[in-house]
Structure 1
């Protein structure tokens, strides 16, 4: 949690969520991978060179805290964890996709 979030003790606004997601290449990568069906942390970590366990975990915790993802733990040996979009997360992803389309149109 950054200093601003600690001092305000309020949940981030949707605009702040977009800013934090769009401004972070790893967050965007994680969202794209989960949207494509890569749901487990170990699989996510292997999708990009340079994505460390620490950074991945920080991004996943942030996305769960924002309500974009939910974490599902399975009572198995070895333990299995998967992440999936919440209904809010699915809508959030749709808006991110529209922003990407707008950016592509802007480039041309």
Structure 2
């Protein structure tokens, strides 16, 4: 998790630091509907490598936005879901969706 003293002074910059990558925002979008396995996320995120997916998920876990649930099955079964803190990003994602729709309509 980012230490408070390491966070940017600007609140927008803090948000961008936490979710600003292309993949993190799309991972959050996919987890809005509920828990997903790694393979489900890979299929949904066309073009993401396993390495980048793993790094993004681990970063989001460390930042308190995503939970990793090991369901203790054979073969291994791991799911990822938004934390309560991560769910507070839903209005941000919805605003981005609406603005993207508006922008496309203007073209």
Query: Which range, TM-score by smaller chain?
Result: 0.7 to 0.9
Structure 1 unaligned regions, length at least 5? none
For 2:79 and 2:33, how far apart are their aligned partners in 1? Answer: 13
User: What is the number of residues matched between the two proteins?
Assistant: 102
1:51 maps to what in 2? 48
- 3-state secondary structure, aligned to 2:23: helix
* Residue of structure 1 aligned with 2:33, choices 21, 33, 36: 36
Deviations 1:40-83 (A, max 9, x none): 11111111321110000011011111111111001110011001
After superposition, residues 21-100 of structure 1 pair within 5 angstroms as: 21=19, 23-37=20-34, 39-100=36-97
CA RMSD of aligned residues (A): 2.8
Structure 2 unaligned regions, length at least 5? none
What is the TM-score with the length of structure 1 in the denominator? 0.73
For 2:43 and 2:101, how far apart are their aligned partners in 1? Answer: 28
